[in-house]
Structure 1
């Protein structure tokens, strides 16, 4: 089913589907009709599109609704991580001295450096970096295509080897 006028699936010069303001309006309308309890078949009839296009329109609208708040939350979380990172760097850059029984431990006339807080700050910085990478999807699994055939051949096994 298609109505006269502009194509319900606009294409760019290469034939690839384009998301336009009209597409967004249609998707929003399809989602609204679905929210009112209409079936995809009825939505398709109402909008003059096929059932699969109606379903895709609702899915795109729902994804857009969820994606926008998720982006705002992600941005807020990244800002918080940036602040924590700055604070951890401040700890890392401070001079730390070893204290024992309430007194500064000295090596000769100089206070003995305490590397513990520095190492803890480094660990914290790494954890913050790992969290940022996860939020930004930098650690996402990658898909590898492997083609070709593998041939296995078993040679030289005697009955004695199996016992």
Structure 2
């Protein structure tokens, strides 16, 4: 059989997982769940080293966790959608001021109560913040900074001057 070094690689050098490889990885994970050792799994599936069996099981576990995470994320987003819809209903509804169980009037008109609308706005902002965190929208991004040789020399000179 093939070792990890013999497996096909994509144009970027990354391991390309074929259907047969995925099936063997799944079988390795199944055998491991039965308590088999990695050397025994490697021997059973024709791999040269225990590391091949270990890596196969690791790939399956990583993919399983990713799929489960995607499912949980989808459920959480659906839940946030329902909460947002409910908060929007409160936001657009007309609210009147009530004091001691009686409607408060101003010039024969019920006095509007803005507090529920403002609370709905606060709730909507919290829902939006949660959605942004869940989707990674607020995650910092890495920036690549390149320094030309001229700027590097100027920086070195500045450091020397500051050291004096």
State the TM-score bracket (shorter-chain normalisation): 0.7 to 0.9
Give the conservation status (yes or no) of the 8 Å contact 1:92–1:117.
yes
1:74 aligns with 2:76: no
TM-score (norm 1): 0.74
Within 1, Cα distance between the matches of 2:13 and 2:67? 28
Match of 1:108 in 2: 107
1:59 maps to: 58
Instruction: Tell me the CA shift for residue 57 of structure 1.
Output: 1.2
Please report how far the alpha carbon of residue 79 of structure 1 lies from its aligned counterpart in structure 2 after TM superposition: 1.5
* Structure with more helix by fraction: 2
Partner of 2:138: 139
Give the unaligned 5+ runs of structure 1.
Answer: 156-163
Q: Using a 3 Å threshold, how does the CA distance of structure 1 residues 14 and 127 change in structure 2: closer, same or farther?
A: closer
Structure 2, unaligned runs of 5 or more: none
Question: What RMSD in Å do the two structures reach over aligned CA positions?
Answer: 2.9
Q: Deviations over 1:5-49 (max 9, x none)?
A: xx9622345654222211211111221232233343443333324
Distance (Å, rounded) in 1 between the aligned partners of 2:108 and 2:135: 49
Cα offset for 1:101? 2.6
Equivalent in the alignment of 1:118: 117
- How many aligned residue pairs are there? 152
Paired with 1:143 and 1:53, the residues of 2 have a C-alpha distance of: 33
Q: 1:86 to 1:49 in 2, by over 3 A?
A: farther
Secondary structure at 2:88's aligned position in 1? helix
Alpha-carbon spacing, 1:24–1:2, altered in 2? closer, same or farther (3 Å): closer
| 2:137 alignment partner, SS class | coil
Task: State the secondary structure of the residue aligned to 1:2.
Answer: coil
